[in-house]
Amino acid sequence: MPSPELTERIEQALADLRADARQVSDSIHARPELRFEERFAAAILSDRLEQAGFRLERGIAGMPTAFRASIGEGRPTLAILCEYDALPEIGHGCGHNLIAAGGMLAGLALARAFRGAGTIQVVGTPAEEGGGGKIVELEAGVFDEVDAALMFHPSDHTRMIRHATASRKVKVSFHGIAAHAAASPEHGRSALAAVIQLFVAVDALRQFVPETARIHGVITDGGQAANVVPAFAAAEFQLRDVTSTGVEHLLERFRAAVEASALATGTDGELTLGSLYTERKNNRPLAERIGAYLSAQGMPPEPPLLTGGTGSSDIGNVSLAIPAVHPYVQVMPRGTATHTAEMTEYAATDEAFEATVAAARALALTGGDFLEDGVFRDEVAADFRDRGPDVPMGAR
């Protein structure tokens, strides 16, 4: 537990700052921005932090909508992560407006309350929805001097530890030869036929991959006119499995399907690989401490779930590099699915924001423990050193 004085100051700061955090959440929710386009969200968050005395670095890791806000000096360094990108068509159906506002609120409250040595960071991580912003930051060294990273994710239940799959997005394009589809089809080579053949091949492949593997895709370009043999067509797929190794094995099978589809249709196929989202390694001491603070607020966590999870996030890559935690906090009724219009609606409700304040309180108090308590920091470091990723038993 943080010292009584720090706890009291955190509570006062949360009370003072919550109304503004609600405004930030609602504003981001009302102006959804897709990955790497989150200019409004990044600006409203970074401006608030700068006004509170944080040192701002905007456009970090070569991403205009990424930022790092720091206050304090030296080690230990605690980072609180904010996500703020939205989904196509449905907006904030993953509740990233709540992650952003809650992370900002936790960072501001802890910064206002903490008087000791160390550094508090609030890191803006764009493009979680397929762009891998945290991976870009990790590779650019943003987390090199960070001792632990905290965040939370909205959900229909409260759980501190849940398995997450590894995943990789793959863009596939085929190049053929255009021709008039009625007058001279024999002179053409249909790129669309290659894409269709690839989907057929993937359907056949599903029968012969591990039951934990997932392959799903959409056609993103199928040509423009029915009477023209398409010279170009494209699709986007996502490959998932319980481990990064499994995804890479799946990729090799998928690559063969692309090559076979190109050969069968006389076209040329090309793959563009997205970032590999790894499996997750939730730090137990951090997770248990956050869970205790949520329990104290009447939100007891459900037991860890290490099977059945099919979601993926770039927090997994961070968690394999430094101690990190990604708890789920219930903000909507049980059974409500993420990435839906229903969740978009719930992400703007009073109930969801109250749960976000509870999550921010748990993050701030856990952050206070981490900064104040050397024994706790040692426990966090030991768990990171000794424990492997959260994957089903026997997974490879």
Q: Using CA atoms, how far apart are residues 83 and 103, in angstroms rounded to an integer? A: 9
The reply to whether CATH 3.40.630.10 applies to domain 4-164+279-386 is yes
Mean pLDDT of 99-124: 98
Q: What is the CATH number of domain 166-277?
A: 3.30.70.360
Mean pLDDT of 71-97: 98
Mean pLDDT of 185-196: 98
Residues facing residue 58 across a β-bridge: 67
- Long-range Cβ pairs for the range 339-343 (8 Å, 24+): 339/87, 339/90, 339/93, 339/94, 340/90, 340/93, 341/90, 341/93, 343/92, 343/93, 343/94, 343/95, 343/154
What pLDDT sits at residue 393? 54
Mean pLDDT of 238-256: 97
Amino acid at 132: G
| pLDDT, mean over the chain | 97
Question: What is the strand order of the sheet 148-150 is part of?
Answer: 55-58, 67-73, 118-124, 77-82, 148-150, 324-325
Identify the residue whose tokens are 């537990």. 1
pLDDT in tens, 300-344: 999 998 876 668 999 999 999 999 999 999 999 999 999 999 999
Cβ contacts of 319 within 8 Å, gap of 6 or more: 149, 280, 281, 282, 283, 325, 326, 389
Determine what percent of the chain is predicted with pLDDT higher than 90.
94
Q: Using CA atoms, how far apart are residues 281 and 316, in angstroms rounded to an integer? A: 7
Residue 391 has pLDDT above 90, yes or no: no
Identify the residue whose tokens are 């903000």. 331
What pLDDT sits at residue 63? 99
What pLDDT sits at residue 309? 63
Q: Are 147 and 374 in contact (CB under 8 A)?
A: no
- Supply angle C-alpha 213, 219, 221, rounded to 5: 150
Residue 160 has pLDDT above 90, yes or no: yes
Q: Are 267 and 183 in contact (CB under 8 A)?
A: no
Confidence of residue 396 (pLDDT cuts 50, 70, 90): low
Residue 394 has pLDDT above 60, yes or no: no
Confidence of residue 283 (pLDDT cuts 50, 70, 90): very high
Which runs of E-coded beta strand occur in 84-162? 118-124, 148-150, 153-155
Domain boundaries, the chain: 4-164+279-386, 166-277
Three-state DSSP class for residue 340: coil
Determine what percent of the chain is predicted with pLDDT higher than 70.
98
Q: What is the pTM of this model?
A: 0.94
Cβ contacts of 143 within 8 Å, gap of 6 or more: 79, 137, 149, 318, 321, 322
Per-residue DSSP letter, 170: E
Q: Which pair of structure tokens corresponds to residue 78?
A: 């605690």
Residue 276 has pLDDT above 90, yes or no: yes
Burial group, residue 227, by CB count within 10 angstroms (0-12, 13-18, 19+): exposed
